[in-house]
Amino acid sequence: MKRSTIGGILVALVLVVVGGLGWTSDARRDVPLMVNSANQFLASLTAEQRARATFAFDNDEERLYTHFIPPETFERRGVTIKEMSAAQKAAARNLLRSGLSQRGYMTVGEIMEAEGLLEMLEGPDRQFARDGEAYYVTVFGSPSNSGSWGWRWEGHHLSLHYTIVNGNVTVSAPTFLSASPSEVPSGPRRGMRPLKAQEDAGRALLGSLTPAQRRVAIFAEEAPTNILAGPVRGQTNLAPKVEPLSPAGIAATALEPVQRELLMDIVDAYASVMSPDIAALRMAKIEQGGTENITFAWAGGTLRGEVSYFRVQGPSFLIEFDHTQRDPNHVHSAWRDFEGDFGRDLIGEHMQQQDH
């Protein structure tokens, strides 16, 4: 989705923002769609599958249990795509579509497809099994247009979380989008890049910087070996609240108008993965925090094919993109909300209102 499209949606929907992030029910289209899709998915399951696929909404031990590493190193619960019938797979994919734009749905599909291709590329000596259908679908609470509930779609290199609070707010963080290979080197899918839009947007801004601006934006000659705000395996089952990273890089106020557009193109590349309503919600929150307060930081090589890392950070959010493990064909990427991951802030506000 182009920024102009998101901008039009944003102008229309920001008018119904109440108290910062409270949306009137008739302004939201994604929640009823998710409710119908989730209920149809659950109805398609057997009783045994449904028992594995559903948890109470307040079961934080499970709802906050997340990672994007292989199943062999992180036990997951839910029902996998692999074990579903054709009808169940169709229902699951309809649920997935309900939270994503068309471009986002294609991005997620390519991430899962890359997992299957990785099995062939690594060959029989691979460390882990690779399966493009080893993705788990889980629903928390009872899907309804007025209650609080959520759902998750997760497996290797992919972790999507949606939280609906009081029927009229959708949170879609954390979002982990990763890929290996990040560019398919051979075969019928040669050249496929699941995160092409995200990487190219970052490189476009870097390429626009003057030498003086680059000296400010590039904070390290060597890239981190992974994203810095990812889940911490082995530390806790509950995903820790993400905190802003140390100030680094170049601020939006130090960019020319055209460069600021390129900076917002990076944000758009991530926001527009989500459905139009969710994308507009994300952008509204960013606008409220002030786009002038966003920074862009780079580390590592500056040419395609070199190990590199960049991040975009604002008052309310963090985007990271990293060519991880010193392998320029393996990327990890994330969108985090400092207050909104898993809907923690909105759930807290809702509970206080209920108590009051």
Cα–Cα distance for residue pair 92/85, rounded to 1 Å: 10
The per-residue pLDDT string of the chain (356 residues; one tens digit each, 9 = 90 and over) reads: 455 444 444 434 433 333 333 444 434 688 999 999 999 999 999 999 999 999 999 999 999 999 999 888 899 999 999 999 999 999 999 999 999 999 999 999 999 999 988 877 776 677 777 888 999 999 999 999 999 999 999 999 999 999 999 998 788 999 999 999 999 999 899 999 999 999 999 999 999 999 999 999 999 999 999 999 988 655 445 566 889 999 999 999 999 999 999 999 999 999 999 999 999 999 999 999 999 999 999 999 999 889 999 999 999 999 999 997 667 899 999 999 998 899 887 787 656 665 54
Cα–Cα distance for residue pair 217/212, rounded to 1 Å: 9
pLDDT given for residue 13 in this prediction: 41
pLDDT given for residue 238 in this prediction: 58
pLDDT given for residue 349 in this prediction: 62
The domain total for the chain is 1
Cα–Cα distance for residue pair 310/113, rounded to 1 Å: 25
Tokens 């991040």, residue located = 311
pLDDT given for residue 125 in this prediction: 75
pLDDT given for residue 22 in this prediction: 41
Question: Which structural domain range is residue 123 located in?
Answer: 3-355
pLDDT given for residue 168 in this prediction: 80
pLDDT given for residue 15 in this prediction: 33
pLDDT given for residue 128 in this prediction: 75
Q: Per the structure block, which two tokens stand in for 177?
A: 């989008």
pLDDT given for residue 356 in this prediction: 42
Cα–Cα distance for residue pair 147/316, rounded to 1 Å: 25
pLDDT given for residue 104 in this prediction: 98
pLDDT given for residue 237 in this prediction: 52
| Partner residues linked to 292 by β-bridges | none
pLDDT given for residue 63 in this prediction: 94
pLDDT given for residue 233 in this prediction: 57
Cα–Cα distance for residue pair 171/30, rounded to 1 Å: 11
Cα–Cα distance for residue pair 171/239, rounded to 1 Å: 16
Residue 84 CA neighbour count, 13 Å, CB half:
25
pLDDT given for residue 326 in this prediction: 66
pLDDT given for residue 352 in this prediction: 62
